[in-house]
Amino acid sequence: MPNISPIPAFQDNYIWLITNNNHAVVVDPGTAAPVERVLAERQLTLDAILITHHHHDHTGGVEALLARWPQARVYAPAAEPMPAANGIALHDGDKVSLPELALEIEVMAVPGHTLGHIAYYAAAQDQAAPGLPLLFCGDTLFSGGCGRLFEGTPAQMHHSLGRLARLPDQTRVYCTHEYTQSNLAFCHAVEPNNPELKKYLQNVAKLRQQGVPTLPSSIGLEKAVNVFLRAHLAGVRAAAQMHQGAELNEDIEVFAALRRWKDDF
């Protein structure tokens, strides 16, 4: 099965590197230089690039990588500007085959952060498949948080997160920013008595003190600690209502209030 490792970029981005033997695929390369350095150090061939959405810190390195690796396939959302002239446009439910990695991936439309945002999900083929299932979700789901609504609506993001929350609990979550510690501070403000959150806060603090990435997370963990996946719970609703100063009757209203609260947190 493929190996997955983060390539740090900019201030807090992770470009995910997926490898099998000497073959490599990268997810959301916002810049080319750190990717090229790792490829050279590990003597890897770049076979494909996966793009989740059009923001420059996720696509800025594509052109330079293709200049060095013109054979690399570029996959990107059909509903957003294509970062490569010969890129492969993807829609919800499409399948991406990465034979170099022995990996089959399903495309999931998850609008909210941007209108055409997609995620890449690899399901476990059988119980003997180590390391699966896994999810590359860009800026839709973060550990302890979710993306800002730059283009989409609260209803779109709430629906997208609901789709991700229905994936198997053991699904490993590879998002693209090291926002975990600050996200959990917000979650703690909403749910100060959540024991799983308290435990996770301590673990994350130790990891960051050591300079170690907090990712990947898992769907099961996020359902236990991430308030944006917990808008249906009475305690989360009560906290959102108190902050909003108004009654919130629907889960989507709670989610929208949480997102506004986090924007100013």
Check the annotation: does 55 bind a ligand.
Answer: yes
State what percent of residues in the chain have pLDDT above 70: 97
What three-state secondary structure class fits 89?
strand
pLDDT exceeds cutoff 90 at 214: yes
Q: Which two tokens stand for residue 262?
A: 């986090």
Please say if the pLDDT value at position 125 is more than 80: no
**Quick one: average pLDDT of 205-229?**
97
Angle at 143 between CA 142 and CA 147, to 5 degrees: 20
List pLDDT tens digits, range 69-110.
Answer: 999 999 999 999 999 999 999 999 999 999 999 899 999 999
How high is the pLDDT of residue 124?
72
Residue 164 is predicted with a pLDDT of 98
pLDDT average, residue stretch 254-259: 98
Q: Which residue spans within the chain are E strands per DSSP? A: 3-9, 13-20, 23-27, 45-50, 73-77, 88-90, 95-98, 103-109, 118-122, 134-138, 141-142, 145-146, 172-175, 217-218
Query: 52 lies in which domain range?
Result: 3-263
Asked whether the predicted pLDDT for residue 120 surpasses 60, the reply is: yes
Classified as helix, coil or strand, 193 is: coil
Please indicate if the annotation marks 53 as binding a ligand.
Answer: yes
* Arithmetic mean of pLDDT, 2-18: 96
pLDDT in tens, 155-201: 999 999 999 999 999 999 999 999 999 999 999 999 999 999 999 99
Asked whether the predicted pLDDT for residue 129 surpasses 70, the reply is no
Instruction: Please give the C-alpha separations between residue 143 and each of 69, 84, 113, 183, 222, in angstroms, as whole numbers.
Output: 32, 30, 15, 7, 6
Instruction: Please tell me whether 232 is known to bind a ligand.
Output: no
57 is in an annotated binding site: yes
d(CA 252, CA 256): 6
Q: For the chain, how many structural domains are there in total?
A: 1
Residue 1: is its pLDDT beyond 80? Answer: no
Percentage of the chain surpassing pLDDT 90?
94
- Please determine, for residue 261, whether its predicted confidence score (pLDDT) is greater than 80: yes
Query: Is pLDDT above 90 for 131?
Result: no
Is 243 annotated to bind a ligand? Reply is no
Average pLDDT over residues 41-46: 98
pTM over 0.85: yes
Phi-psi region of 174 (alpha: psi -120 to 50; beta: other; left: phi over 0): beta
Q: Is 158 annotated as a binding residue?
A: no
pLDDT of residue 130: 62
Residue of 192, 46, 165, 1 lying closest to 15 (CA atoms): 46
Is residue 111 within 8 A of residue 221, CB to CB? The reply is: no
Has 12 been labeled as part of a binding site? no
Statement: residue 128 has pLDDT above 90: no
CATH number at residue 65: 3.60.15.10
User: Is it the case that residue 127 has pLDDT exceeding 70?
Assistant: no
Q: Would you state the pLDDT for residue 126?
A: 56
